[in-house]
Amino acid sequence: MNNQVREFTELTSEQVLTAVEGKTLIWPIGGIEQHGPHLPLNVDAVIPEAFARVLANDIGGFTLPVQPLSVRSLPQSGGGLEFPGTIYVDGSTFTAYIGRAIKSLCSLPFKQLVIINGHYENEGFIFEAVDESRTAGHFKDRSVIVFSWWSLVSDAWTREHLTDFPGWHAEHAGLTETSLMLHLRPDLVRAERVDHENSPRAGIYQIPIKEEFSTRGVLSKTSGASAETGSLIFEHVRQQILELVTAD
């Protein structure tokens, strides 16, 4: 087998059992969701997939294809569903899908499963699917780590490196995502920048939905975003992921 192969789906059926035995499988989970006028619909897939790829190379694991569909976008954390292009499934379907995929994966002799989430609203549903898999006995002696990439960025780090940080719930199409996309896929980032001055508060859901929750789908400021900031965030999170995954 070519030692450079780090994509699970590039293995053959005859290779896979030997290749993944005792290894780490990495599953990025994202979404297809509007991200303002300047970013593409696949932001929430591009970012966790990039972290999954570098982790696979860092530790000799294998990355699964990114899961593109997510649960619904909420107004105070994703701009809501009134913007064209967002595609979602309901929470029960998503939870069942993730759980059934995990059950299938557990027929393979890997030692560790790492799930990297890139869509804010997915988090609780992924936790539920993983915990249901645990209680069903699917993992046996395997270890599992699930996180959203931004959860590995400390408050102290954000205060030092990110100006006027509004909180992760409101960092939708804002400084961090725009900077990361400028670092990872600058070809997909449009020149236009939109600033939303009054970011919504976390943990509040209101009906009717208020237009002032976002500006054209942006929940915070995008001005000041740069590829350099994106590189800084990416390398910080990359190191945090590596420490988390390789800790005894």
Among residues 237, 240, 233, 228, which one has the least CA distance to residue 160? Answer: 233
59-74: pLDDT as tens digits: 999 999 999 999 988 7
169-191: pLDDT as tens digits: 888 899 999 999 999 999 999 99
Q: Kindly give, in sequence order, each residue whose CB lies less than 8 Å from that of residue 40, ignoring residues fewer than 6 positions away.
A: 46, 181, 185, 188, 189
Instruction: Identify whether 38 is a catalytic site residue.
Output: no
Which CATH superfamily, name and number, covers 8-246?
Creatininase (3.40.50.10310)
Q: Kindly give, in sequence order, each residue whose CB lies less than 8 Å from that of residue 106, ignoring residues fewer than 6 positions away.
A: 133, 138, 139, 140, 142
State the DSSP string of 40-79: -TTHHHHHHHHHHHHHHHHHT-EEPPPB--BSPPPHHHH-
pTM of structure: 0.94
Q: Which of 119, 138, 169, 183 is catalytic?
A: 119
Q: What is the pLDDT of residue 201?
A: 75
Token pair 């590189």: residue: 231
pLDDT band at 81; cut points 50, 70, 90 = confident
Token pair 């102290």: residue: 156
91-146: pLDDT as tens digits: 999 999 999 999 999 999 999 999 999 999 999 999 999 999 999 999 999 999 99
Contact, 7 vs 55, CB < 8 A? Answer: no
Q: Which of 38, 49, 121, 183 is catalytic?
A: 121
d(CA 86, CA 44): 11
Q: Which of 171, 177, 183, 196 is catalytic?
A: 177
Q: What is the pLDDT of residue 211?
A: 63
Instruction: Identify whether 177 is a catalytic site residue.
Output: yes
Domain boundaries, the chain: 8-246
Backbone angles phi, psi at 200, to 5 degrees: -70, 155
Q: How many residues does the chain have?
A: 248
Among residues 98, 103, 89, 90, which one has the least CA distance to residue 126? Answer: 98
Tokens of 90: 């309901």
pLDDT band at 5; cut points 50, 70, 90 = low
Instruction: Identify whether 44 is a catalytic site residue.
Output: yes
Instruction: Identify whether 119 is a catalytic site residue.
Output: yes
Contact, 144 vs 112, CB < 8 A? Answer: yes
Instruction: Identify whether 169 is a catalytic site residue.
Output: no
